[in-house]
Amino acid sequence: MSLQAGGIEVGAAAGNRVLTGAEILLRTLVASGVDVCFANPGTSEMHFVDALDRVDGLRCILGLFEGTVTGAADGYARMLDRPACTLLHLGPGLANGLSNLHNAMRAQSPVVNIIGDHATYHRHYDAPLTSDIEGTARPFSHWVRTSPNARSLAVDGAAAVAAASSAPGRIASLILPADAAWSTVPAETAEGLTPACPSLPSRPGQEAVEAARRIVASGEPTAIVLASRATREIPLRLAGQIAAVSGVRLFAQTHTPRISRGAGRVEVTRIPYPIDQAIGMLKDFSNIILVGARPPTAFFAYPGQPSLLYQPGTRIHELARADQDLVYALGALAEALGATAVQPPVAPAGPPSGPASGPLTPASIGAVLGETLPEQAIVIDESITSGRTFLGDTRASAPHDWILPTGGSIGFALPNAIGAAIACPDRQVVVLESDGSGLYSPQSLWTIARENLNVVVLVFANHRYQILRNEMAGVGASGAGPKASSLLDLTDPVVDWVRLATSLGVEASRAQTIEGLRTALAAAYAKTGPTVVELPL
């Protein structure tokens, strides 16, 4: 046998065209609309890697750690609402990526994982990398399947994309044994197959719309809590029309995947993370209407504090689940209230000017960020404690999208930035990163540099896990002892983000004043490619 150009193997009989299983899978992914693969492959995936040069249409991007790979797929999905695929190496490779798969799952991001495995006949020898990959994948996936052979890969690949693309966005994990990837089958096996169709969002029943109409029309204090894709520009406008005619208040779930914000857009108030602030914000509402959201719940349990953030007796009504058509649901409610012709209030144009000079503080940084944020920027916020005011500081900035952590697993922002920048190469990505969280995935900077992505990273360097200091107090522990304190401290040694970023190929500087921050941002926004700016706090 000889392998010819195009991945066609000619057997003993002339014209007997065959393809490897890897080629069939790649062709299926491309035909199903997957055109980006974030990868960290190993030996079992080498035939998939080799087939990339014989199957056109799939851009492959290397991440140096699997958490980078899965987080990038999440960021890509949040901006395009369609899946990229990941390429991961057996169970340990998948395990390294689970943290950001958890975030992607909570963000309802469509992701297709291709996870290599030992050849089927090799598994029972219990080689060192053998593990229960299906068992590892299942808690972090909505759909899991192991392809038994090359012939099954066209059907299984299409089914994986369909599962991931089904509303509201799901995680599909397809396990690819090495012999399924390298075995050959007749080329016609991959021809003429129709990819499986994803399930489309259903419409909520008219009774749900009518119940919501009655609640809103009652005049009782009512909040609408929006999450999932209900915090995008079009559904927010519909929600704004409802609020304009009824006086209901609009809230975003604390950890919602993406909010369309800025001048000229309907504003929505994010429910704050601190439990006392959230309870205070929601305490006066008799009714809460959910649109793609869950009942407001505290992130953690705290001694003597309630788990639910609303008052006992508050009536909860679900207008639409996250897997339903949220635009239809809000439009139907707006129509039922006679609000479709109303111009809703929107955020004013033009934030106030930030300070021209002075020391760096969270407040001064937020003011400068709000003033200078480029139009249509994608802001990825993992600023944790340093950025508690940033949403308010940017309410009147140029129109932009704001991406938030959804699953609480830190280290998501730098990987997410890769995916968002690949998805939207014409938009500026701005990462607001705390130094502690950034140290979970700093190798993402190497991929950002390699792909020359338009990403500006602001690192808030207080050299400690300040959020954990706050949580220590929140749960009633003193944290005063030297052992406890040492686990919340990031000094001795202090990480130098300028040297770290430079070593990974990203231009970097340190700004110690407002003047320095303004200069650094102007230079970063004016050029093509990535920049890191460390801000000591």
Each residue's pLDDT tens digit, 12-33: 333 568 999 999 999 999 999 9
The H-or-E segment that residue 429 falls in is strand 429-434
Q: How many helices (H) and strands (E) does the chain have?
A: 20, 22
> How do residues 101-143 score in pLDDT, each as one tens digit?
999 999 999 999 999 999 999 999 999 999 999 999 999 999 9
Please give the Cα distance from 79 to 358 (Å, whole number): 36
Peptide bond into 345 cis (omega under 30): no
Please give the Cα distance from 158 to 147 (Å, whole number): 12
3-state secondary structure of 15: coil
> How do residues 418-464 score in pLDDT, each as one tens digit?
999 999 999 999 999 999 999 999 999 999 999 999 999 999 999 98
What's the mean pLDDT when you consider all of the chain?
A: 94
**Which CATH architecture best describes the domain 206-336?**
3-Layer(aba) Sandwich (3.40)
> How do residues 326-339 score in pLDDT, each as one tens digit?
999 999 999 999 99
> How do residues 362-412 score in pLDDT, each as one tens digit?
999 999 999 999 999 999 999 988 988 999 999 999 999 999 999 999 999
With CA atoms as reference, report the closest residue to 516 among 371, 353, 390, 356: 356
Asked if the model's pLDDT at residue 165 lies above 80, the reply is yes
Phi, psi of 470 (to 5 degrees): -65, -45
Q: What is the pLDDT of residue 478?
A: 81
8 A C-beta contact, residue 207 and residue 319 = no
> How do residues 236-260 score in pLDDT, each as one tens digit?
999 999 999 999 999 999 999 999 9
Phi, psi of 3 (to 5 degrees): -95, 125
Comparison of pLDDT for 480 and 529, the residue scoring more: 529
8 A C-beta contact, residue 356 and residue 330 = no
Q: What is the pLDDT of residue 8?
A: 33
With CA atoms as reference, report the closest residue to 100 among 133, 69, 78: 69
Asked if the model's pLDDT at residue 7 lies above 50, the reply is no
Asked if the model's pLDDT at residue 216 lies above 90, the reply is yes
Tell me the mean pLDDT in the region 503-510.
Answer: 98
Asked if the model's pLDDT at residue 4 lies above 80, the reply is no
Handedness of CA 10, 160, 418, 31 (dihedral sign): positive
**Would you say the CATH fold of 362-536 matches that of 2-190?**
yes
Please give the Cα distance from 355 to 55 (Å, whole number): 54
Q: What is the pLDDT of residue 485?
A: 87
Please report, as a single letter, which amino acid is at residue 116. G
Q: Work out the pLDDT band at 191, boundaries 50, 70, 90.
A: low
Q: Classify domain 362-536 at the CATH superfamily level.
A: Thiamin diphosphate (ThDP)-binding fold, Pyr/PP domains (3.40.50.970)
- pTM metric for this prediction: 0.95
Query: Could you tell me whether strands 8-10 and 17-20 are parallel, antiparallel, or unpaired per DSSP bridges?
Result: antiparallel
Q: What is the pLDDT of residue 352?
A: 86
User: Can you give 366-393 as a three-state secondary structure string?
Assistant: HHHHHHHCCCCEEEEEECCCCCCCHHHH
The H-or-E segment that residue 171 falls in is strand 171-177
Comparison of pLDDT for 58 and 198, the residue scoring more: 58
> How do residues 281-312 score in pLDDT, each as one tens digit?
999 999 999 999 999 999 999 999 999 999 99
Please report, as a single letter, which amino acid is at residue 400. H
Asked if the model's pLDDT at residue 96 lies above 90, the reply is yes
Q: What is the pLDDT of residue 56?
A: 95
Please give the Cα distance from 99 to 62 (Å, whole number): 18
2-190 in CATH: which number? Answer: 3.40.50.970
Q: Which two tokens stand for residue 472?
A: 């220590």
Q: Where are the domains of the chain?
A: 2-190, 206-336, 362-536
Tell me the mean pLDDT in the region 268-290.
Answer: 96
Q: Work out the pLDDT band at 6, boundaries 50, 70, 90.
A: very low
Please report, as a single letter, which amino acid is at residue 256. T
With CA atoms as reference, report the closest residue to 190 among 53, 4, 29, 12: 29
Q: Work out the pLDDT band at 187, boundaries 50, 70, 90.
A: confident
Q: What is the pLDDT of residue 199?
A: 83
